[in-house]
Amino acid sequence: MAVGLFGGSWLDKKFGTTPWLTGIGLTYGIAAAARAIYRTLKQANRELEELDQKEREARKKFDDAKPPAKK
């Protein structure tokens, strides 16, 4: 996000277009940060689902291996 802000600000000073390129750079920076957060959360969720599935399989194996309860 900071790269977009500072890059836009630098380009504004260079071309004299204040505040347009700063705003565009900031917008791109925010979009890039949001995309990175989304991808990280998506990957974490995928890993959590895989772990959950492994735990369910382990519990099922354990339950299947137990002898039946006596009444």
Q: Is residue 28 part of a domain?
A: yes
Q: Is residue 31 part of a domain?
A: yes
What percent of the chain has pLDDT above 70? Answer: 96
pLDDT digit string, tens, across residues 30-48: 999 999 999 999 999 999 9
Q: Is residue 24 part of a domain?
A: yes
* Number of structural domains found in the chain: 1
pLDDT at 51 over 80: yes
Q: What domain range is 26 assigned to?
A: 2-63
pLDDT digit string, tens, across residues 9-32: 999 999 998 899 999 999 999 999
Q: Is residue 69 part of a domain?
A: no
Please report the DSSP string for 5-68 in residue order: HHHHHHHHHHHT-TTHHHHHHHHHHHHHHHHHHHHHHHHHHHHHHHHHHHHHHHHHHHHHHSPP
Q: Is residue 71 part of a domain?
A: no
Q: Is residue 8 part of a domain?
A: yes
